[in-house]
Amino acid sequence: EIVLTQSPGTLSLSPGERATLSCRASQSISDYLAWYQQKSGRAPRLLIYDGSSRATGIPARFSGSGSGTDFTLTISSLEPEDFAVYYCQQRSNWPITFGQGTRLEIK
């Protein structure tokens, strides 16, 4: 099973600041990685797939990068609605696995 480790666990920033979230895989997964945003009490929303492709309707301030084992989700300038929990997910091997999440909170 591929383990995804996200860091930091919690990130405290202010609106307008840049957010950088990390996801590290226990073995190479090429670019078979997605990022999701989840707000309290809601279902997750797909943001990024294949490492760097934005899903339909996702604002350009969200970008993804990386390949192999190290991946990054960047939010260029935080909006108030961006404060949420973010998960990475790999599709390289079965079972599909998720990272444990990064909570992005308002400072």
Partner 1 sequence: EVQLLESGGGLVQPGGSLRLSCATSGFTFSSSAMSWVRQAPGKGLEWVSAFSGIGEITHYADSVQGRSAISRDISTNTLYLQMSSLRVEDTAVYYCAMRGSGKWYFDYWGQGTLVTVSS
Q: Kindly list the residues in this chain that would bind partner 1 in the complex (CB under 8 A).
A: 1, 32, 34, 36, 38, 43-46, 49-50, 55-56, 87, 89, 91, 94-101
Min. distance of Cβ 14 from partner 1 in angstroms? 25
Which is closer to partner 1, CB of 75 or CB of 90? 90
Min. distance of Cβ 5 from partner 1 in angstroms? 12
Burial class from Cβ neighbours inside 10 Å (0-12, 13-18, 19+) for residue 51 reads buried
Min. distance of Cβ 77 from partner 1 in angstroms? 25
Which is closer to partner 1, CB of 17 or CB of 55? 55
Q: How far is CA 20 from the centre of its chain?
A: 9
Q: Which residues, 6+ apart, have CB-to-CB distance to 42 below 8 Å?
A: none
